[in-house]
Structure 1
Amino acid sequence: MTKRRAPKPIRDAVLGACVALAAAASPSLAEGVERGVVERGPVRIEVLAQGSGPAVVLLPSLARGAEDFDQLAALIAAAGFRVIRPEPRGIGGSAGPVEGLTLYDLAADAALAIEADAGGRVAPVIVAGHAFGNWVARALSAIRPELVRGVVLLAASIGTEIDPGIRASINGSFDPALPEAERLRHLQRGYFAPGNDARVWLTGWHPAVARMQRAATAATPDRSWQRVADRVPVLYVAAVEDTIAPLPTLARLQQELGPRVTLAEVARAGHALLPEQPEATAAALIRFARELPQ
């Protein structure tokens, strides 16, 4: 990525190269990852954490879990950050009621993980949400502003209507009744840029979690939480070949999210983004995090 001054899109080749070097030199992705469970009433949230330094919280996409961030988390931790990954309800060791939820309930699950990792202190974090996770990140910044000092939206929809054919591919991607070859075609069409290997996402889907998350989104009664950049600095990381959340202009982002938003474009990536371009994605997030006031 080639650097431009904010608020224009950020394309930082130097930082990207540094992150790539860190990836080559880093140990196993699983090394140094702490796993624990935090509880509040009937809710249990499994949390993966690694590294030390200012905290970055990673929230996964629809029907998917924390493992999607394995590469990204290792790169961010190697750059000097504490990375916290709460699993959504219904994945891993996370459990709790799945009926009658709103996005605010899912945001409260993330808050539970943040507070537990901070040991009861109020220590504001950067929260990054991938695709569906962006809704939870924005909701968290609205209901618990004292916990959030910056938000990163990764391949996030910002009000654009999704083409019905692409929506069919989203649903087909994790439909266990479909043959693998058909699911692969849906994954390639909906999530991956041409030439990138969609097979890496054949596994890792949780259809029951998708139903819960979609119901929670539909049940969230207002949309005031969406303009997150009215409250905190926001980085929008756009996948240039995203068919679900097409590349927006900075003006469109400011209209939808608020004035405190910058844009980073990641080439050769679709909506999946994380398995396609982990180094470039990490580079954009790390740069944003380092430029925020402590």
Structure 2
Amino acid sequence: MPQPTDTATPPHDGHRAAHRLVDVPGGRIHLVEQGTGPLVLLLHGFPETWRSWRHQLPALAAAGFRAVALDVRGYGRSSKPAEVAAYRMTAHVADNVAVVHALGEDTATVVGHDWGATIAANTALLRPDVFTAVGLLGVPYAPRNGVRPTDAFGMVGGDEEFYVGYFQRPGRAEAEIEPDVRGWLAGFYASLSADTMAPDGSPSCFFVPSGRKMADRFVRDARPAWLSEAELDALAEEFERTGLTGGLNRYRNVDRDWEDLAPWDGAPLTQPSLFIGGEHDSSTTWMADAIEAFPAALPGLSAAHLLKGCGHWVQQERPDEVNRILTGWLRSLT
């Protein structure tokens, strides 16, 4: 794999992917870019890296765009601040703005999946002067409301603990994951992929019984079709090197985010927008009300696509379909 460089000028001819590091206020961000043309930032979710966009980079480049996939703060080769509060939403927004400027651009489209979708939405919300369009995969936009997130999550699940609450205490989830990173990742990916997830009616891995682990309800001995052994090895190697704390710290800032974003309570995203979700993704079922509210929350929505037979890992489970939708939408913006 090519080594990152520390230059603010494009180090490649646009035909192949290039790795680089750029300075941001909180440290440095590692990114992979391919292509020339209008800038498109791609933000991954948990627990992933820039590699979740490996199918989109060449497709967007071939369509005439400068596609840039980040290792979000706390992941991969990007900086990993020690303080939990360093992973608040406003810090991620500042990273994304700094990346655009480091790449010599004034504006960009931002596209995210999972937590990356929420980061993308808030990046567009807070900096509409820089981010002129937003694409959301997996997790729909839901404007801030008056309920503190941890209070809301505490009311979910009855006697069982919702996974976001389970992730709150530093060190707790790490103690479950890090003794067998590859096994935990394999189970998590399989449990949320349409071709390997447990049948309807099975206990959800998103709810943790008292004294148990999240992984106790993972699908075992199954590997999704989209996830090769080599790809799983590469992801496991990366997280074995970095640990999971950076990614988990995103969950540990939900209340800080709620406080920081108070001035934007109920605010819609007015830029041109796109949503792509999976039919069998829990995010699209839990947040069905948010999808129904798109006419008010996303007045610039071009289209909302719910992919039949697709799970959570949308752009990896259905790369060709996602590439077709994304490139068509991006071309409509130019």
Please tell me the TM-score bracket, short chain as reference.
0.7 to 0.9
Distance between the aligned counterparts of 2:274 and 2:245, measured in 1? 30
Task: Call closer, same or farther: CA 1:52–1:105 in 2, change over 3 Å.
Answer: same
In structure 2, the residue corresponding to 1:192 is in which secondary structure? coil
In structure 2, the residue corresponding to 1:287 is in which secondary structure? helix
**Do structure 1's residue 147 and structure 2's residue 130 form an aligned pair?**
yes
- Consecutive unaligned residues of structure 2, counting only runs of 5 or more, are 1-13, 143-151, 168-172, 197-223
Mapping for residues 46-85 of structure 1, pairs under 5 Å: 46-85=30-69
Distance between the aligned counterparts of 2:26 and 2:269, measured in 1? 34
Distance between the aligned counterparts of 1:82 and 1:258, measured in 2? 25
Distance between the aligned counterparts of 1:45 and 1:229, measured in 2? 28
**Do structure 1's residue 265 and structure 2's residue 306 form an aligned pair?**
yes
Distance between the aligned counterparts of 1:67 and 1:151, measured in 2? 20
Which residue type is aligned with residue 300 of structure 2? R
**Do structure 1's residue 209 and structure 2's residue 246 form an aligned pair?**
yes
Task: Call closer, same or farther: CA 1:232–1:131 in 2, change over 3 Å.
Answer: same
Deviations 1:10-58 (A, max 9, x none): xxxxxxxxxxxxxxxxxxxx97112221114551111211101111110
Which residue type is aligned with residue 132 of structure 1? W
Distance between the aligned counterparts of 2:181 and 2:113, measured in 1? 27
Deviations 1:239-268 (A, max 9, x none): 112123328489614267232222022223
Deviation at 1:92, TM superposition (A): 3.0
**Do structure 1's residue 39 and structure 2's residue 23 form an aligned pair?**
yes
CA contact (8 A) 1:241 1:268 kept: yes
Distance between the aligned counterparts of 1:214 and 1:125, measured in 2? 26
In structure 2, the residue corresponding to 1:92 is in which secondary structure? coil
Partner in structure 2 of residue 136 of structure 1: 119
Moved more, 241-250 or 36-45: 241-250
Moved more, 43-52 or 243-252: 243-252
Q: Structure 2 residue aligned with 1:175, among 174, 177, 185?
A: 177
State TM-score, norm by structure 1: 0.75
**Do structure 1's residue 104 and structure 2's residue 90 form an aligned pair?**
yes
Task: Call closer, same or farther: CA 1:217–1:179 in 2, change over 3 Å.
Answer: closer
Which residue type is aligned with residue 197 of structure 1? A
Deviations 1:44-86 (A, max 9, x none): 1112111011111100012321011111111111111110122
CA contact (8 A) 1:55 1:82 kept: yes
Distance between the aligned counterparts of 1:238 and 1:226, measured in 2? 24
Distance between the aligned counterparts of 2:181 and 2:117, measured in 1? 30
Partner in structure 1 of residue 139 of structure 2: 156
State TM-score, norm by structure 2: 0.67
The percent identity for this pair of structures is: 19
- Consecutive unaligned residues of structure 1, counting only runs of 5 or more, are 1-29
Partner in structure 1 of residue 225 of structure 2: 197
Distance between the aligned counterparts of 1:97 and 1:183, measured in 2? 23
Larger RCO (alpha carbons 8 Å, 6+ apart): 1
CA contact (8 A) 1:139 1:225 kept: no
In structure 1, the residue corresponding to 2:75 is in which secondary structure? coil
Distance between the aligned counterparts of 2:265 and 2:138, measured in 1? 15
Partner in structure 1 of residue 283 of structure 2: 244
CA contact (8 A) 2:118 2:141 kept: no
Task: Call closer, same or farther: CA 1:98–1:31 in 2, change over 3 Å.
Answer: farther
Deviation at 1:277, TM superposition (A): 0.6
Which residue type is aligned with residue 207 of structure 1? L
Which residue type is aligned with residue 31 of structure 2? V
Partner in structure 1 of residue 70 of structure 2: 86
CA contact (8 A) 2:140 2:290 kept: no
Aligned residues: CA RMSD: 3.3
Task: Call closer, same or farther: CA 1:140–1:194 in 2, change over 3 Å.
Answer: same
Distance between the aligned counterparts of 2:256 and 2:51, measured in 1? 27
In our comparison, the structure showing a higher alpha carbon Rg is 2
CA contact (8 A) 2:121 2:269 kept: no
